């Protein structure tokens, strides 16, 4: 619980914004590689089952997907948190939004990681 307390209560907005910008820059670079992978061949061909599974079996690419997932989830849900906090303020409301966005972030990362892990290990 201590790390959650630090994340939600103690972390200054200036630090959170640096994380927001850092995750944005990292995501831009890695999403570019992700899109380029789709362009290595004809777009619809690259989406064929065997090609996509082959992508997941490639360890460096699977690791990159995991990093992209974390970066985009953190950036996306922090962005949503900022929008919701701009809309309304209040101790309970802010606490709810902060914890809610961390929860949603964790859930999306867990669900995406499950796909990467299962497809990567051939559990399909």
Partner 1 sequence: MAERISNREGLRGMANPTRYGLERVAYWLQRLSGLGLLAYLIGHIYETSSIVNGKVAWDKMLELTQTTQGHLLLTLVIGMCVFHTANGIRVMLGHGGIGVGKPGQPEYPYDKSQRSAMGSLNYKQRLCIWVSIALAALAMMYGMAVLFGD
71 binds partner 1 (CB under 8 A): no
97 binds partner 1 (CB under 8 A): no
59 binds partner 1 (CB under 8 A): no
Evaluated on CA atoms 37, 42, 48, 50, the torsion sign reads negative
48: which 2 tokens? 């064929």
How far is it, in rounded angstroms, from Cα 123 to Cα 121? 6
Size of the site for partner 1 (CB under 8 A): 34
CB neighbours (10 Å) of residue 17?
12
12 binds partner 1 (CB under 8 A): no
DSSP class of residue 7 equals I
Contacting residues toward partner 1, per CB under 8 A: 17, 21, 24, 28, 31, 39, 42-44, 47, 49, 52-53, 56, 69, 72-73, 76-77, 79-80, 83, 86-88, 108, 111-112, 114-115, 118-119, 123-124
């Amino acid at each position: 619980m201590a790390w959650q307390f630090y994340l939600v209560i103690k972390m200054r907005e200036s630090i959170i914004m640096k994380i927001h910008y850092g995750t944005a820059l990292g995501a831009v670079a890695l999403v570019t590689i992700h899109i380029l992978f789709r362009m290595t061949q004809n777009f619809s061909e690259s989406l064929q089952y065997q090609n996509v599974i082959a992508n997941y079996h490639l360890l460096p690419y699977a690791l990159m997907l995991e990093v992209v997932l974390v970066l985009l989830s953190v950036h996306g849900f922090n962005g949503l948190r900022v929008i919701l906090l701009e809309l309304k303020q209040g101790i309970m409301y802010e606490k709810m939004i902060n914890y809610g966005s961390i929860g949603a972030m964790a859930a999306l990362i867990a669900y995406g990681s499950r796909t990467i892990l299962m497809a990567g290990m051939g559990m399909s």
